[in-house]
Structure 1
Amino acid sequence: MAWEYFFPQKEMPLAVTFAGRYDVWDFSQHGNMLNEFQSGIRLFDHYPESEIWNKLLNGNAEIDSILSKGQIALRFRTNRYTSLIKSFSFYAEFEGYKAICCNVGSTSSQLFDSVDELTYDIMCPFVFDGKQWTVSIYTKKDIDCSVIAKKYGGGGHKKAAGFQCLELPFKKI
């Protein structure tokens, strides 16, 4: 990791650890604290030049407060995501897979946590900006989302990818 390269003698702050593990979706060691940290830090101005980073990169004093606030923010997000799924989601067939689709932008696969995993192969949040659709594709199965996205001019990783299009390539079933 970059921290170890640039600061080999300095212990990695929890904020860096949490951000790094969340970035690669590795919840194995820190579990839901990663979500709590992400939800908590987003309550603050968290641009790279923000004051919060001086505190977080020079110790762990703020972590407990951020995690505590993050627990509350995460409960709100979970309830909001459940409501969005109930109001704006539908099933579709997309590239031979059963998809759970939801008309919501700027989200993650966690939007679909309230949906039974046995009922879909892929998750597709999408949003229209007035000119084009932005479609994300996520999966928890052995499906390469990047292959699907590339077919529509996009890209990404095996478990998370996306593309933009003028017409949605799926319809409610």
Structure 2
Amino acid sequence: MSERRIDGPVVCVYHSADLDGHCSGAVMRHYFQDAPDVTMVGHDYGRPFPYDLLGPECTLVMADLCVEPFAEEMPKIADKVGRFIWIDHHKSAIEGHEAAGLELEGLRRIGSAACELTWEYLFGDDMPDAVRLLGRYDVWDHAADERVVPFQMGMWTLDTRPELRRPGHDPWARLLGAQGTHEADDAVRAIVADGEVVRRYVELQNRRVCETTAFETEFDGLRALACNTNGASSKLFESVYDERRHDIMVPFCWKIDAWSFSIFTTHDHIDCSEIAQRHGGGGHAKAAGFRSPNIPFILTGGA
């Protein structure tokens, strides 16, 4: 991190939709734990940005997301704060930063997860296992360590929102604060063990969901396998997805005031971030998302 000292209030904004974002927020909270005035904010795409928390004396640290439309909102945010540190790994956001001609402080790199980049930027080397395991899951490097998937699923059973202070019940205190100790190692092992149980249930439930609700349709000229369900990853479709018949996977659901769509692919020639951008969203080449008041494809028969 820059040697510039951080004075005054600090606002930490993290992506609230997944564990990569939660872990990024927890790393920020860990770094600023002794700062006198720190506000943790979970934020998601399509939601109103909390401009009322910003001010000229404020340092804003944002990780794992940007505010769209990028060329309008990100310079606006930068103008409202004394210092803006932005950490991200989404292809569409990094391209938006370059297109806007901005030079925001921070760290951006495709291929690393936001939580990994946040740790690297704030602390440097010696990354805790928890950060590395969550990071490898988020960038689909599941083969990096046999614990990647069960650790992710074990973390699903915990309340990981970093803005909540829960003395004695905060998983991040054990995973980050006790880094390199037996306590941290024991915490990872326990979460992995829980995750193995969760994985067996999730795989069974995913098969059941797809048997009854997955369907084939066409989306932006691509052969899509879709399913109306909440909180799904590409693993939802493992029992029915066929790379020869399907170009993309699209889980979707209604969230508060709009439809929320995720897009996944296993094909190298398809860029999910470009599809999402056409619909007001963004993301990675292999996984992206957007929100819309309407469903942009026909609801058809079963898969």
Q: Report TM bin, short chain.
A: 0.7 to 0.9
Identity over aligned pairs, percent: 40
| Structure 1 portions without partners, runs of 5+ | none
**Matched-pair contact (CA < 8 Å) for 1:46–1:53:** yes
Q: Name the TM-score, length of structure 2 as normaliser.
A: 0.52
Cα offset, 1:45, TM superposition: 2.4
Residue type of the alignment partner of 2:245: T
- Secondary structure in 2 aligned to 1:60? helix
Match of 1:114? 239
- Secondary structure in 2 aligned to 1:62? helix
Match of 1:12? 127
Match of residue 141, structure 2, among 3, 21, 26: 26
Residue type of the alignment partner of 2:224: A
**Matched-pair contact (CA < 8 Å) for 1:103–1:127:** yes
* Cα distance per residue 1:130-166 (max 9 Å; x no partner): 6432221111102011222222222222111222223
* Cα distance per residue 1:67-117 (max 9 Å; x no partner): 111000111111111111111110001111110000012211111111233
Residue type of the alignment partner of 2:173: N
- Structure 1 residue 149 corresponds to structure 2 residue 296: no
Q: Which runs of 4+ in 1 moved over 4 A?
A: none
Match of 1:134? 260
Residue type of the alignment partner of 2:234: S
- Secondary structure in 2 aligned to 1:28? helix
Distance verdict in 2 for CA 1:35–1:166, change over 3 Å: same
* Matching of residues 31-50 of structure 1 within 5 Å: 31=146, 33-48=147-162, 49-50=165-166
- Secondary structure in 2 aligned to 1:18? helix
Distance verdict in 2 for CA 1:136–1:6, change over 3 Å: closer
Distance in structure 1 (CA, Å) of the matches to 2:265 and 2:175: 33
Residue type of the alignment partner of 1:52: P
Distance in structure 2 (CA, Å) of the matches to 1:122 and 1:160: 10
Residue type of the alignment partner of 2:205: R
Q: Name the TM-score, length of structure 1 as normaliser.
A: 0.87
Residue type of the alignment partner of 2:171: I
| Structure 2 portions without partners, runs of 5+ | 1-116, 179-183
Larger radius of gyration: 2
Distance in structure 1 (CA, Å) of the matches to 2:120 and 2:283: 27
- Structure 1 residue 65 corresponds to structure 2 residue 190: yes
13-22 vs 84-93, which moves further: 13-22
Residue type of the alignment partner of 1:126: F
Cα offset, 1:2, TM superposition: 3.7
Distance verdict in 2 for CA 1:54–1:161, change over 3 Å: same
Distance in structure 2 (CA, Å) of the matches to 1:132 and 1:16: 32
Distance in structure 1 (CA, Å) of the matches to 2:123 and 2:257: 45
- Secondary structure in 2 aligned to 1:118? coil
Distance in structure 1 (CA, Å) of the matches to 2:297 and 2:157: 35
RMSD: 2.0
Match of 2:219? 94
